[in-house]
Structures are given as C-alpha cells and as structure tokens.
Amino acid sequence: MSKVRVLVGTRKGAFLLSSDGKRDKWDVSGPHFAGWEMYHIKGSPADPNRLYASQTSGWFGQVIQRSDDGGKTWFQPGTPPGEPTTGPGGMPKGESNKFVYDTSAETGKPLTTHQFYDGTQHPWEFKRVWHLEPSHSDPDTVFAGVEDAALFRSADGGVSWHELAGLRGHGTGPKWQPGAGGMCLHTIIQDAKNPNRIYIAISAAGAFRTDDGGKTWRPINRGLRSQYIPDPEAEVGHCVHHVALHPSRPDVLFMQKHWDVMRSDNAGDSWHEVSGNLPSDFGFVIDVHAHEPETIYVVPIKSDGEHFVPDGKLRVYRSRSGGNEWEPLTKGLPQRDCYVNVLRDAMAVDSLDSCGVYFGTSGGQVYASSDAGDSWNPIVRDLPAVLSVEVQTLP
C-alpha cells in the first residue's frame, strides 16, 4: 500500500508526519533541528529518500541539511560526520551554506541595488533560503530561492551553490522591493515537459520565467494590478505570494497575489482575476488538485493588516472550475474563535487516488484531508508556528 510523508517546517524545528495510504493514523517524528527556523523541507521526486532542508537563525545564519534515508539521519552536505572535510589538495570539500552572489565577469552580474522600504536604493545582501526545489530527474540537482531575491542551483547534492545571476541581474532589479517578510524568492516551479522552462516568484517584484534554463528571464506580470504601487500595472513591483500549476498543463498558472487570485492560460504572458465569490481575496497559499487540473484551493485571509482568517472561521475554499466559483470547505475545521494564518509554502497535495490536501497554520496545527478537501482532521495540533508543508507520496 502507498504511504505519505508530510514534511513540516516550523519556527522552532522540523517535523516529519508519516501514514499509510488511508491517512487516518500518523507517526510524528521531531523536532529535528530543535530551536531553528526551518523555512522549507522538500524531497527529491527522483529519489524520495533524498530530502533537503533550509535551517536558519538570526544568530547563526543559514545552514543546509540533507538526508539520504528519508529523514532518519541528517548531515550538512560536504561535511558528513566522520568523513574528511578537505579534498586531496587540502581544499574544503564543500560549503553548503555559502550563498554568494555571482559577480564574476564571465558568468555573473554586478551587485546592484534594489528599492528599500524607505524608497532608497539598497545593496543586495544574502539573508536566508526560503524555498528548496529539487530537480525532477536528478537527486543531486536542487534549486534554492533566497532572500535577498536570487536563484541558486546546486548540482552536487547541496555541497556547493552557484547563482543563476541572470535573474538578479535583470534590468528591473532597482524596482524590486521587500515585502513585509523581506525580499524573498519563494516560488520555484520547473516545467515537467520542458526542462529549460522555470517559473519563479518574488515578493515584491512579481513572477518571472526563463525559457533557456535560467540564463535569461522575463517578467510575466501583465494583467496584475496592485493599487498602492506608483504604477498599479507596472512591469514589476507586485507582491506575488505564491504560484501553482498542474504538471500536466504547465502553461496554466494560478496565483495568490497579496490581494487577488489570478489565472494565466499562456505561461504567464497575461493574467486575469478569478477571485469570484471569495470572502477575501487576500491570502498566501494556492495549490492544485493532483488529478483535476481545474480544481484549486486557497485559504482566504482577512487582510494584510489582520493576518488571520475572516470571521474566526478556518475555511479552505475550493474551485472546481479553475477559479471564479468557490465553495467553502469547513468540515473538521474550527468555525469559531479561530485566528490563525496559513503561510505561502504551507499547503501541499499528495497524489494518491483520492487526492490528499494538507496545510499548516501559524497556530501550529497541520490539517489533512484524504478526500480532496471535503473533510479535514488535524494530524497534530500544537507544533510551533508552521512555515511550510510539503508531502511525498511513497510506494
């Protein structure tokens, strides 16, 4: 029987939640890396035992962790315990937490500035890894989306990292600016049918696409409208919170913008709003059903000033028509006195026949639905605030 493994990153450690295909009984493992902010943990589609984790701290900076046994044991790539830490020439084997912007003349871009909170220009400074996206085909290849916004790639299992500098060096860089959480690159989506195409999203710059494997990038924000920036329909500067697609239709994108739920049917060349009858179209997460490309999920949040669900009710909204018409999913979710948030990377779907949907809250609950959202149960209720949720469907 198939199994699922839910990878949960929280403000104070990582947790792995495992169940068989029925998804009614769960084993909880953790906290791993207790006390550290675990921004994101994700497994390789090519080798499910290969997990990558972003471990960060305001005191000690960035650490990358890797597991090769499905989360039983972890190590920092390049420095596994007991192995020599230098190569034959005496050079360090790897520095898995070394994220240095590429300013070389051959492959890089000059370190420019971006717009800061006060409107002045500010130099790029690395702060942390928000999102790790393993390659579809190679367990040793993984992308990292970082703050200040840039995209890095490792081809040696996380031992060393190199920036795809064409993105940070994009001419619009001086117009990018940090959102409330920092200027983060939080979404990385590889086109399963076309390895040269990657989508990324930055808060607050917008969405970008490469069609040449990351050498050059173009903003894909036409149709987005953000009322409070100087030009509401600017090429860049939009606070995109998350983007999702169904692997079978890589040209159809769904976006939760700061305000507005958006849809593109042409790989981001243009967008139109599909917020429809949502009680609030502010939110962070958005995801797509594993088997129904027109079924999408969001969790409306009251406003950017009040980061909690409207009316004290935790409701996932599902559209079976690719947007515009939404139904609230409430069975098993608290419908009074609930004031949690659900952050941008904190929703995921499994690929079992009856699609499982998972999300984590700022209150430390991780909810699971084994019937595509019709009903929900908490797997755990009292973790630290949840930053990210990913799920692996295992044989």
Partner 1 sequence: MIRVILPPHLRALARVNGEVVLEVEGRVTLRSALDALEASYPMLRGTIRDHVTQQRRPFLRFFACSEDLSLEAPDFPLPAAVVAGDEPLLLVGAIAGGEPTAQKQKRRDSRRAAKIAS
| Residue 61 makes contact with partner 1 by CB under 8 A | yes
Query: Contacting partner 1 (CB under 8 A), which of 100, 117, 215, 381?
Result: 100
Residue 362, beta-bridge partner list: none
Contact 271, 255 (CB under 8 A): yes
Which helix (H) or strand (E) covers residue 166, if one does?
helix 165-168
Rank residues 10 and 190 by Cβ distance to partner 1 and give the closer one: 10
Roughly how many angstroms between the first and final C-alpha of the chain, as a whole number?
7
Contact 77, 94 (CB under 8 A): yes
Query: Contacting partner 1 (CB under 8 A), which of 12, 26, 47, 95?
Result: 95
What is the C-alpha R_g of the chain?
20
| Residue 113 makes contact with partner 1 by CB under 8 A | no
Query: Contacting partner 1 (CB under 8 A), which of 3, 11, 12, 98?
Result: 98
Rank residues 86 and 227 by Cβ distance to partner 1 and give the closer one: 86
Distance of closest approach, residue 207 Cβ to partner 1, in angstroms: 29
| Residue 57 makes contact with partner 1 by CB under 8 A | yes
| Residue 112 makes contact with partner 1 by CB under 8 A | no
Distance of closest approach, residue 31 Cβ to partner 1, in angstroms: 12
| Residue 10 makes contact with partner 1 by CB under 8 A | no
Query: Beta-strand (E) ranges in 198-353?
Result: 198-203, 206-210, 218-219, 240-245, 253-257, 261-264, 272-273, 282-288, 296-301, 316-319, 327-329, 347-349
User: Nearest Cα to 191, choosing from 209, 167, 170, 176?
Assistant: 209
Distance of closest approach, residue 95 Cβ to partner 1, in angstroms: 6
Point out which span in 57-65, 291-299, 334-342, 378-386 binds partner 1 (CB under 8 A).
57-65
- Sheet holding 347-349: strands in order across? 347-349, 357-360, 366-369, 377-380
Rank residues 79 and 216 by Cβ distance to partner 1 and give the closer one: 79
What is the Cα–Cα distance from 329 to 315, expressed in whole angstroms?
6
Distance of closest approach, residue 237 Cβ to partner 1, in angstroms: 28
What is the Cα–Cα distance from 333 to 319, expressed in whole angstroms?
18
Rank residues 74 and 339 by Cβ distance to partner 1 and give the closer one: 74
The contact set with partner 1 (CB under 8 A) reads: 33, 35-36, 57-63, 76, 78-79, 81, 85-86, 92-93, 95, 97-100
